Amino acid sequence: MSDSRKAATGRPRGFDIDQALERAMRVFWARGYEGASLTELTGAMGITKTSMYAAFGNKEQLFRKALQRYGAGPAAYATCALEEPTARAVALAFLRGAVRTTTPPEGPSGCLTVQGALASGDESRAVHDLLVDWRNDAGARLEERFRRAVDEGDLPRDADPRRLARFVMTTGFGIAVQAANGLGPAELDEIVDTALLGWPA
């Protein structure tokens, strides 16, 4: 099972699967899960529906792969930020990264995990829940990092890591909405600065 060595038999795939996934990701990003139709998806990927189903399974699995790619690519800032030396630097890097990712010079504005399926019909509840988990995971990792910061004396002993993590996540989500609203990186960076004014010394 799984993707071990590629079977060397059969007709070779006629398209770049990575590039196709990248393009699918951008369609999901711009349209959301339900708003992205198979016609638009496969059109952007440059392949037919048949090829998409053979390569990815179905629309939901394509989205899961796209989300994975999103996390490793545009949203990698969320993980990288954790490596900053201080809690404040982590928060700053996280939010600056959110600004950069949600306002690309080209491509869709906003955050895939926020626009993906905030509200949706019944049939895409699985995707909705997947995104809820994704977002909560990001918050949990931030919280863990801030907990460590308290241990290291980097944050005051009475600081609440969970609360701080939730605050940073909230600001990040808000930035995603503001980016979808049309705000640019300069304006969003100002918001980040304002948000961190009350950061615990």
Partner DNA sequence: AGGGTTCTGCACCGATCGGTACTTAATTGA
Partner DNA sequence: TCAATTAAGTACCGATCGGTGCAGAACCCT
**Nearest CA among 32, 165, 23 for reference residue 87:** 165
Residue from the set 48, 86, 170, 194 that interacts with DNA by CB under 7 A: 48
What string marks each residue from 14 to 53 as x (binds a second copy by CB under 8 A) or -?
Answer: ---------------xxxx-xxxx--x-------------
Cα-based distances in Å from 29 to 22, 35, 196:
10, 10, 28
Residue 48: name its binding partner from a second copy, DNA, none (Cβ under 5 to 8 Å by kind): DNA
Cα angle 188-100-68, degrees, rounded to a multiple of 5: 130
Residue from the set 27, 36, 91, 92 that interacts with DNA by CB under 7 A: 36
* 2 near DNA, rule: CB under 7 A: no
Q: How far is the CB of 75 from a second copy (least distance, A)?
A: 15
Q: How far is the CB of 65 from DNA (least distance, A)?
A: 13
Residue 38: name its binding partner from a second copy, DNA, none (Cβ under 5 to 8 Å by kind): DNA
| Tokens 């931030």 found at | 142
Q: How far is the CB of 85 from a second copy (least distance, A)?
A: 22
Dist. CA 109–CA 99, nearest whole Å = 10
Residues 117-155: b if buried by 16+ CB within 10 A, e if exposed? beebeeebeebbebbeebbeebbeebbebbbebbeeebb
Which residues make up the interface to DNA (CB under 7 A)? 7-15, 34, 36-40, 47-51, 53-55, 58-60, 121
